[in-house]
Amino acid sequence: MELSETPRDISFCGHAILGDGAFVIPDALQDERFCDNPMVAGPPHVRFYAGCPLRGPGGRKLGTLCIIDSKPRAFSDEDVEMLVDLALMVEREFSAIEWATVDELTGLSNRRGFMMLAQHSLQLCTRQNIPAALVFIDLDYLKQVNDQLGHAEGDWVLVTFAQHLMKAFRGSDVVARLGGDEFLVLLTNHSEAAAESAMARLQQALDATNEAEARGYDISFSHGLVEFDPKRHHTIGALISQGDSLMYKTKKARR
């Protein structure tokens, strides 16, 4: 097929994704739901369709795996089972990709996931002239917590901080644990001032948690904030490098 996409309101997949199993149309001309469909009446002259919903981790439907032909076809129970099996193989690939790009402890994106998502976001910002900012965050004193109170307590700090990050930033922002005690946030369609406001909200939330938990130490952080400049930051790596440098200057000044 030369088509790369079709409007959802006339697509066969728009019907298939609403169900839980295989959706089969042996001959679209004989089906009152599709006989006057533009894709049936005109090119690519669809006659046969079989589609199966594809779910991502957590069960959300992401799309369909489908077979299309310009001739009517019979589709046996065995054929349906094969299509469902193929769909399950694709779903397992989705799961493998997600597990490879998510930090197991915090549930945030890991380094690999962040680099993939953030690079796409920056390309969009460059094309559409949309502002963006990156925050490089380093937790203070996590090593001391691990050494003095144990790694379980250190894990609690990491998970708690990750939860606060998710609440402080928008769903459209890319939030990640870079590794160890380092975190990244890429804010799209946000100025440097708006990013600083988000960091202030994060600090207020942490202050409240520290007071309520009273665990004998405070969760604190140092950060470096960089406004994206497509003329200077040709890659996400360049943006991260500058954020890292600014963070260490802040940390050194605080100490």
Q: Which residues are catalytic?
A: 181
User: How far does CA 93 lie from the centroid of its chain?
Assistant: 16
Tell me, rounded to whole angstroms, the distance of Cα 249 from its chain centroid. Answer: 30
The one-letter code for the residue type at 160 is T
| Alpha helix positions (H), the chain | 13-16, 38-41, 77-101, 111-128, 142-149, 151-168, 192-213, 236-254
Pairing relation of β-strands 182-188 and 174-179? antiparallel
| Strand ranges of the sheet holding 221-227, from the earlier edge strand across to the other edge | 174-179, 182-188, 132-139, 221-227
In contact, 52 and 65? CB cutoff 8 Å = yes
d(CA 59, CA 52): 14
